[in-house]
Structure 1
Amino acid sequence: MPPLDPQQATARAWFEHLRDVICAEFVAIEREAGSDAAFDYIAWDRVDPSREPGGGGVRGVMKGQVFEKVGVNVSTVGGTFEGEFAKSIHGAGDNPGFFATGISLVAHMANPHVPAVHMNCRFLVTTKRWFGGGADLNPPMPIADDTASFHRSLRAACDAHGPGDYERFKRWADEYFYIPHRQVHRGVGGIFYDHLEGDFDANFAFTQDVGRAFLASYPAIVRRRMDTPFTADDIAARDAWRGRYAEFNLVYDRGTSFGLKTGGNVDAILMSLPPVATWS
């Protein structure tokens, strides 16, 4: 992969920093619960179809007492899109070269009263340059206070920036994180945005604040709920809900499709799947 330009290097460095801060916070929560769980980091390299080096990433996974399974991945890859797939990517078309760097996080929790969560931020370069990402909360049994605090943090991040349109990005999340064949939403929403291009500094600052909003809200929710008593019926409800989550990620999720079609690390791409799920 060619050397990174200043914008590419700046975005990559931020995503790696955000990974480090998030992982440290999650490990701290495990310590508070009396667990010695830690992240297992595995680096991987991507080979472009042209046989040229195509970058790579680091897959981080922790299995603990509070976080039954949490994955935090960072990747920086480049190369060319193959075949018809290029036509589906913003700015690719007849010029299928690309660069992508980003962070992707999914947490599945041991206690059914602690919501699962997804967060992703990314910077892509084709013939255009843009940021995308968002975060959404996925509780098996929603609690209104948790939903409100999560959305409040994301709204504050959006309201602080010109590119941040909370109501539009909230609607986008509601539309995107929907399972048509079940006619249900995957969770209680959040924000989703894509193709923020033009002013790199403004769009980058907004994307940074999305990451900070996640840090300001989700760990607090975990600490608030992780000691809540639960029953066998609660576990059954959690695992049935996880089945819906898995269906969305395998059938509809753009990130899953992008990773698999661009030669990404399969284990890193599928880390979003829950450790246990049921279908009845």
Structure 2
Amino acid sequence: MTEDFTEDFTADFTEEKARASAWFRHLRDEIVAAFEALEQSHDTGPLADAAPGRFEVSETRRNSEDGSDAGGGLMSVMRDGRVFEKVGVNVSEVYGHLGQAAQKAMAARGVPGMESDPRFWASGISLVAHMQNPHCPAVHMNTRMFWTPHAWWFGGGSDLNPCIEYPGDTAHFHAQQEAHLAPHGADLYPRLKAWADEYFYIPHRGRARGVGGIFMDDRNTGDWEADFALTQDIGRAFLPAFVPLIERRRVQDFTDADRDTQLIHRGLYAEYNLVYDRGTKFGLATGHDANAVLMSLPPLAKWV
């Protein structure tokens, strides 16, 4: 599934870039605060006696080939909390010139003119959470804007990755996505759900990595404001879709067998991100901080 790019695009979108970057930072701040609140409020159930986790924040930089300023971002990681075993919430704003491999990849996606002018700008938020309690689902979310002198587009989505699935949790997660997408057209949620089912599939395992969600890329209808509003609502859907599930499941006791199931499921997540994930490939190919790009990998995993 793809979207069409607007033809004959020449605007530099200075104001739009600033608005998008500011929104991603705002969403990051909201999520970090909500996750630290979950840690602080966890006073019943497994690990309730442990110290609440807090995010460690560090700056990241993109390494350009010529050594010039190429942007960066913030990497916020929490490890070994009461609720979160490892969670990263990253924001970035990077720019410069795409290398030949990245130019070819963009050309293959239908972006015109990259060979003659390979400048780019990109900003976004990326989140992956791996939980202490196997009853709590792992989750991924990202939204982003990408600009070249030839086109602009948005992308992103979120998907739920439980190792022990609860149908009610899956239904709640999807219902929140559908409700937040409804103002943008009745056909949009089914399309983005189908896209997520296609994208978050692990061919060599013959299965999805989780229970799905929503996903879009190359979103350019020609109406920047409308596409930005949709991207914001994808971000706004995340906390009401995810936090109630964690509040419900974090108090449940779990067994060694549950933990084993969780670690094996994490192996699927690691395989997908290292082999197929487009964002991982792009981040490494364009010189962004490798620790930030690979933040999505679980702290522990297991293969059988």
Q: Same fold judged by TM-score > 0.5?
A: yes
Letter of the 1:46 partner, please give it: R
Give the one of 34, 37, 42 matched to 1:25: 34
Letter of the 1:139 partner, please give it: P
Instruction: Give the conservation status (yes or no) of the 8 Å contact 2:78–2:84.
Output: yes
Aligned residues: 278
Matches within 5 A, 1:55-94: 55-63=71-79, 64-89=81-106, 90=109, 91=111, 93-94=114-115
Q: Using the TM superposition, name which of 259-268 and 33-42 deviates more.
A: 33-42
Aligned counterparts of 1:62 and 1:164: Cα–Cα separation in 2: 37
* Offset of residue 47 of structure 1: 3.0
Aligned counterparts of 1:164 and 1:202: Cα–Cα separation in 2: 15
Give the one of 156, 170, 181 matched to 2:193: 170
Aligned counterparts of 1:47 and 1:5: Cα–Cα separation in 2: 23
Matches within 5 A, 1:79-118: 79-89=96-106, 90=109, 91=111, 93-94=114-115, 95-118=117-140
Letter of the 1:188 partner, please give it: V
Aligned counterparts of 2:234 and 2:76: Cα–Cα separation in 1: 21
Which entry has the higher C-alpha Rg, 1 or 2? Answer: 2
* Offset of residue 51 of structure 1: 2.4
Matches within 5 A, 1:97-246: 97-126=119-148, 127-162=150-185, 165-197=188-220, 198-246=222-270
Instruction: Provide the secondary structure at the position in 2 that maps to 1:53.
Output: coil
Unmatched runs of 5 consecutive residues or more in structure 1: none
TM-score, with structure 1 as normaliser? 0.96
Q: Deviations over 1:33-75 (max 9, x none)?
A: 1443110000022232232210001100012110000000000
Aligned counterparts of 1:56 and 1:84: Cα–Cα separation in 2: 21
* Offset of residue 4 of structure 1: 7.6
Instruction: Give the conservation status (yes or no) of the 8 Å contact 2:154–2:218.
Output: yes
Letter of the 1:184 partner, please give it: R
Q: Deviations over 1:215-240 (max 9, x none)?
A: 11101111011011111000000000
Instruction: Provide the secondary structure at the position in 2 that maps to 1:61.
Output: strand
Letter of the 2:285 partner, please give it: K
Instruction: Give the conservation status (yes or no) of the 8 Å contact 1:130–1:196.
Output: yes
Pairwise CA RMSD: 1.4
Aligned counterparts of 1:199 and 1:162: Cα–Cα separation in 2: 14
TM-score, with structure 2 as normaliser? 0.89
- Is 2:279 aligned against 1:259? no
Q: Using the TM superposition, name which of 142-151 and 42-51 deviates more.
A: 42-51
Letter of the 2:146 partner, please give it: L
Letter of the 2:139 partner, please give it: V
Unmatched runs of 5 consecutive residues or more in structure 2: 1-11, 44-50
Match of 1:45 in 2: 61
- Is 2:20 aligned against 1:8? no
Q: Using the TM superposition, name which of 81-90 and 213-222 deviates more.
A: 81-90
Instruction: Give the conservation status (yes or no) of the 8 Å contact 1:158–1:164.
Output: no
Over 6 Å off, 4+ runs: none
* Offset of residue 162 of structure 1: 4.0
Identity value in percent: 51
